[in-house]
């Protein structure tokens, strides 16, 4: 061992011996013994001499003490963690091939040796293959690696070798669609490693076939299929009724699949196409029609899955379809622990695609909305169902193309203005005299333009998966808070200008209120999302409900203030109209914010109901305390609301303030029974408020059910029922 | 990155048939015992280098529970800087022999490693555990850990995990 190259790092009893490249030179074999290959260096071929060093290596290892390690200077223990032990079946993915009876052939080799059918397929064989391929597509969209899903279908490895026109057109259509899907997902940037596996490991979705050719082939086979269906509809003499009917059904089933593939491909192609001369709304309309047709086809495909050939046992002991092999691409996987993949069952894949198309259909509705607040709500509702990554990306794409495209730079600005106008009716968007002020216009326009950033980020956040949303809210709140601060400054500056124009006129915090409203909603969302993701222990519920209650309070004040501005505006325009037309009748209009006020008000009462219930449980010692070894409530409180640190308003409530209020409320009532009664009253109050909502939707109806049940339970507890039980 | 399945839960105290000792990790001679114990409970395999990475770099954060000369429990951790500002401890592996569970050995091992982390100025301790592993969740939550994040499809088997966190500062 070279002494210069050796560096001992004392670390208890462990030590490391690091080598430089020169040290390794000494281990290079001497001349002779085995010549087994050649190194090509430049144009010269250098013979390689192999020498068995096992014994020499093992002898040298004897010199090492326990815990001593020899490694290259740039290969630390951290890098070593990614190492796999060769030949260990748990780690070495290559070991999978061990059980195969014969070597796995590439598609080209298989075609050459006639081991795979490429022509003269029966309709049931075709149905089996295309259904299996669709199941692979669904599994890929569901987050599995490309290599272990779509590329287990060997036909896709070299589509030009497929001779059957139906299968070739279908395979090309799927390959091209998947490439477009990948572009769509890439452009949305809302995927994370847990959502989606990017194409990699030497598998490419690109083909040499042009779009025109691919569409032409699909059209041709579609027409052929239609002819076959028609032809098979007429019963030939030599066939029985039953035979003719089943043949016709097979052709129909195949035709539906070809039509579906054509629509699927053209949907993505058209949506992502760069036809500058075609208005995007027209693109969406056509896309919507395609989705509607596909939506109607999927149940037909699902019902006829049974007509397709089913999987059979192959050489490697895997149950799979002709032309498919789960191991065909395994060599492309990086040397890591093999991940077990299950391809979706065919009918389940149909269900998956059906839900996906339903979501895509819903996503197209976004282009019809013309006010950003409604768009935000649309995104929030869309996210509630935990949608797949493709529909989330499509929603993001549809929104950006409609409102943020290079063709229409003002669109985003307009929908923001429209929302603010509906929210508070600020004079800058109404008052003609103020509109005349160039300075006022500049100030407000600059604000609208700058709100684009935080609002777009808010929408982007809603397009991420639910867990990542929560992670991203910290950064989002910083941006929203900055926007809100700017809104307030803008309000102040506009007020100065307005008062200068007319001392009777004032500019209230119209823009600031709108900013505050969105900040409050995201803060509430952050806390409530924790319930959905199951992040809170029961001992944390008090803090969460308490803070949500505080935030509801802010949102309510904000809505009341906005409502007041709307009423003032309504009164002013009514006076204006009255002066113009004395006959106009006064008609009481329901305010824009009424429903939301009722709902938030009811939810706040529910929060208070929960808090009083917990107070009762604590008083009766029914609820487990968190008095564990390392728990510190203050630290826990502060970290749980850490993303609110940088928010300008609603102001952060310190732990000291929180405990002060908690102690005060807990001292207000003497017994658990009183707390339970108080809780029941709050739930009753919430119920009454919810029942006052005209045209209640499903959410409201569900909330009414919850408040009813909780009220009954609290009344029972107040009457002493199940006194001994624990929460 | 590291995933551990630990079905330990604490309650009963150890039945005193034999002597239970907690010892610090001392040398690689103890490594086979640790590997054997942890491999039994693991959902995913670790290479020997994974053990070496932790044990060589942070030997003082590894502890073993010994009954006579038999290793019945082990904890392996690390402590380094996170985002250049936080000294973050990470509990990489914890396992207790099946017959010795429900005696608080897991909790004691975790406490030992946390105590050492505290001595070294640790700000927070984190780890991941499978969503469905109720005993492990109970063990850590009883020590004061909270569920800080939900990690969708964290494991190779597609299951979710929780990132658990204990704030010390």
pLDDT attached to residue A578: 66
The phi and psi torsions of A46 (rounded to 5 degrees) equal -105, 125
Domain of residue B31, CATH code: 3.40.630.30
Rounded Cα distance between A107 and B95, Å, is 46
Tell me whether residues A85 and B166 touch, CB distance under 8 A.
no
Lowest mean pLDDT among A31-35, A466-470, A617-621, A693-697: A31-35
- Residue A4, pLDDT above cutoff 50: no
Nearest residue to A382 via CA among A367, A362, A397, A399: A362
A534, B150 contact by CB (below 8 A)? yes
Query: Could you tell me if residue B26 is inside a domain?
Result: yes
Rounded Cα distance between A179 and A200, Å, is 12
**Cβ-Cβ contacts under 8 Å, A78 against chain B:** 53
Q: How far is CA A90 from the centre of its chain?
A: 31
Query: Could you tell me if residue B136 is inside a domain?
Result: no
Q: In this predicted model, which residue has the larger pLDDT, A407 or A484?
A: A484
Query: Could you tell me if residue B8 is inside a domain?
Result: no
Which residues touch A233 (CB under 8 Å, ≥6 apart)?
A248
Give buried/exposed letters for B9-47 (b at 16+ CB in 10 A, else e).
Answer: bbeeebeeeeebeeeebeebebbebbbebbeebbeeebb
Nearest residue to B164 via CA among A498, A636, A307, A669: A636
Rounded Cα distance between A179 and A42, Å, is 39
B65, B74 contact by CB (below 8 A)? yes
Cis bond upstream, residue A373 (ω within 30): no
Chain segment A190-204, per-residue pLDDT in tens: 999 899 888 766 678
Q: How far is CA A45 from the centre of its chain?
A: 54
Tell me whether residues A194 and B152 touch, CB distance under 8 A.
yes
Share of chain A above pLDDT 90, in %: 63
Q: How many folded domains does chain B comprise? A: 1
Share of chain A above pLDDT 70, in %: 87
Q: In this predicted model, which residue has the larger pLDDT, A471 or B10?
A: A471
Rounded Cα distance between A396 and A374, Å, is 15
Q: How confident is the model at residue A5 (pLDDT cuts 50, 70, 90)?
A: very low
Determine how β-strand B63-67 pairs with β-strand B20-24.
antiparallel
Q: Distance (Å) from the C-alpha of residue B15 to the closest C-alpha of chain A? A: 23
Rounded Cα distance between A439 and B99, Å, is 79
Chain segment B12-41, per-residue pLDDT in tens: 444 446 789 999 999 989 999 999 999 988
Tell me whether residues A628 and B144 touch, CB distance under 8 A.
yes
Query: Could you tell me if residue B104 is inside a domain?
Result: yes
Query: Could you tell me if residue B114 is inside a domain?
Result: yes
A292, A302 contact by CB (below 8 A)? no
- Residue A331, pLDDT above cutoff 90: no
- Residue A405, pLDDT above cutoff 90: no
Chain B residue whose CA is closest to A67? B28
Domain positions in chain A:
107-365, 373-535, 558-574+591-635+650-726
Tell me whether residues B28 and A628 touch, CB distance under 8 A.
no
Lowest mean pLDDT among A164-168, A588-592, B127-131: A588-592
Query: Could you tell me if residue B135 is inside a domain?
Result: no
B56, A69 contact by CB (below 8 A)? yes
Of A16, A81, A534, nearest to B150 by CB-CB distance is: A534
Chain B residue whose CA is closest to A537? B146
Domain containing B26 equals 20-128
Query: Could you tell me if residue B75 is inside a domain?
Result: yes
pLDDT attached to residue A430: 80
Chain A residue whose CA is closest to B154? A194
Average pLDDT over residues A88-103: 74
Contact A636/B at CB under 8 A: yes
Q: How confident is the model at residue A459 (pLDDT cuts 50, 70, 90)?
A: very high
Q: What is A270-298 written as a DSSP string? A: HHH---TTS-HHHHHHHHHHHHHHHHHHH
Give buried/exposed letters for A323-348 (b at 16+ CB in 10 A, else e).
Answer: bbbbbbbbebbeeebbbeeebbebee
Residue A366 zone, left/alpha/beta (φ > 0; ψ -120 to 50; rest): alpha
Tell me whether residues B53 and A81 touch, CB distance under 8 A.
yes
Query: Could you tell me if residue B145 is inside a domain?
Result: no
pLDDT attached to residue A39: 47
Q: For residue A380, what is the enclosing H or E element?
A: helix A372-384
A420, A371 contact by CB (below 8 A)? no
Lowest mean pLDDT among A315-319, B23-27, B87-91, B97-101: A315-319
């Amino acid at each position: 061992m070279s002494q210069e190259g050796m560096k001992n790092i004392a670390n208890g009893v462990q030590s490391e011996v690091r080598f430089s490249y020169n040290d390794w030179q000494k281990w290079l074999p001497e001349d002779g013994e085995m010549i087994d290959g050649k190194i090509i260096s430049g144009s010269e071929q250098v013979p390689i001499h192999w020498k068995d060093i096992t014994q020499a290596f093992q002898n040298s290892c004897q010199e090492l003490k326990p815990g001593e390690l020899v490694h290259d200077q740039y290969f630390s223990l951290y890098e070593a963690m990614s190492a796999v032990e060769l030949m260990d079946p748990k780690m070495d993915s290559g070991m999978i091939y061990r059980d195969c009876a014969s070597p796995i052939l590439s598609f080209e080799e298989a075609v050459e040796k006639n081991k795979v059918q490429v022509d003269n397929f029966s309709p049931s064989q075709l149905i089996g293959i295309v259904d299996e391929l669709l199941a692979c597509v669904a599994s890929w969209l569901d987050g599995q690696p490309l290599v272990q899903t779509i590329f287990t279908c060997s036909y896709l490895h070299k589509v030009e070798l497929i001779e059957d026109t139906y299968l070739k057109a279908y395979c090309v259509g799927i390959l091209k669609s998947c490439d477009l899907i990948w572009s769509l997902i890439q452009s949305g940037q809302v995927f994370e490693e847990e959502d989606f596996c990017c194409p990699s490991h030497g598998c490419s979705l690109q083909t040499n076939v042009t779009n025109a050719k691919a569409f032409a082939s699909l059209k041709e086979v579609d027409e052929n299929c239609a002819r076959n269906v028609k032809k098979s509809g007429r019963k030939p003499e030599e066939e029985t009724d039953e035979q003719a009917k089943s043949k016709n059904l097979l052709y129909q089933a195949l035709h539906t699949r070809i039509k579906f593939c054509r629509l699927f491909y053209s949907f993505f192609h058209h949506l992502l196409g760069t036809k500058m001369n075609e208005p995007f709304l027209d693109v969406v309309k056509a896309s919507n029609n395609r989705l509607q047709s596909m939506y109607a086809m999927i149940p037909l495909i699902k019902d006829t899955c049974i007509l397709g050939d089913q999987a059979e046992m192959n050489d490697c002991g895997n149950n799979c379809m002709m032309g498919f092999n789960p191991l065909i691409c395994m060599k492309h996987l990086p040397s890591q622990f093999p991940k077990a993949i299950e391809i979706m069952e065919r009918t389940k894949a149909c269900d998956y695609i059906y839900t996906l198309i339903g979501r895509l259909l819903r996503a197209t509705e976004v282009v019809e909305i013309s006010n950003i607040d409604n768009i935000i709500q649309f995104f929030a509702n869309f996210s509630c169902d935990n949608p797949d990554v493709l529909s989330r990306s499509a929603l993001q794409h549809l929104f950006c193309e409609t409102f943020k495209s290079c063709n229409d730079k003002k669109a985003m600005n307009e929908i923001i203005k429209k929302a603010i106008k509906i929210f508070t009716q600020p004079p800058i968007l109404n008052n003609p005299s103020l509109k005349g002020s160039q300075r006022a216009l500049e100030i407000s326009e600059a604000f609208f333009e700058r709100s684009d950033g935080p609002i777009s980020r808010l929408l982007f956040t809603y397009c991420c998966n639910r867990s990542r949303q929560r992670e991203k809210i910290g950064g989002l709140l910083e941006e929203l808070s900055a926007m809100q601060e700017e809104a307030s400054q803008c309000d102040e500056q506009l007020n100065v200008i307005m008062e200068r124009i007319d001392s009777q006129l004032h500019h209230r915090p119209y823009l600031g209120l709108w900013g505050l409203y969105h900040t409050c909603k995201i803060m509430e969302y952050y806390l409530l999302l924790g319930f959905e993701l199951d992040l809170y222990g029961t001992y944390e519920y008090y803090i969460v409900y308490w803070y949500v209650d505080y935030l509801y309070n802010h949102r309510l004040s904000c809505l009341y203030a906005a409502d007041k501005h709307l009423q003032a505006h309504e009164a002013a325009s009514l006076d204006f109209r009255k002066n113009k037309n004395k006959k106009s009748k006064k008609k009481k209009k329901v305010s824009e914010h009424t429903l939301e006020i009722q709902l938030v008000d009811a939810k706040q009462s529910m929060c208070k109901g929960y808090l009083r219930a917990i107070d009762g449980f604590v008083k009766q010692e029914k609820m487990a305390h968190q008095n564990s070894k390392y728990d510190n409530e203050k630290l826990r409180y502060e970290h749980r609301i850490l993303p609110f640190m940088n928010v300008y308003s609603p102001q952060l409530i310190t732990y000291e303030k929180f405990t002060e209020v908690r102690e005060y409320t807990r001292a207000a009532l003497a017994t658990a029974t009183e707390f339970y009664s108080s809780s029941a009253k709050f739930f009753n109050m919430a119920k009454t408020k919810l029942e006052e909502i005209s045209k209640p939707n499903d959410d409201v109806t569900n909330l009414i059910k919850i408040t009813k049940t909780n009220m009954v339970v609290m009344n029972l507890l107040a009457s002493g029922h199940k006194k001994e039980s624990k929460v | 990155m590291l995933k551990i399945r630990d079905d330990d839960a604490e309650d009963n105290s150890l039945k005193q048939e034999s002597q239970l000792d907690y010892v610090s990790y001392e040398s690689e001679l103890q490594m086979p015992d640790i590997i054997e114990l942890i491999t039994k409970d693991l959902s995913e395999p670790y290479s020997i280098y994974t053990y070496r990475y932790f044990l060589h770099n942070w030997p003082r954060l590894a502890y073993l529970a010994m009954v006579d000369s038999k290793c019945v429990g082990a904890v392996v951790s690390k402590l380094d800087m996170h985002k250049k500002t936080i000294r973050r401890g990470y509990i990489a592996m914890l396992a207790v022999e099946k017959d010795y569970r429900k005696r608080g050995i897991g909790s004691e091992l975790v406490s030992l490693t946390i105590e050492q982390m505290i001595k070294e100025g640790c700000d927070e301790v984190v780890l991941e555990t499978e969503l469905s592993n109720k005993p492990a969740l109970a063990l850590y939550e009883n020590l004061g850990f909270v569920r800080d994040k939900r990690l969708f499809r964290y494991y190779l088997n597609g299951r979710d995990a929780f990132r658990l966190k204990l704030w010390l500062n």
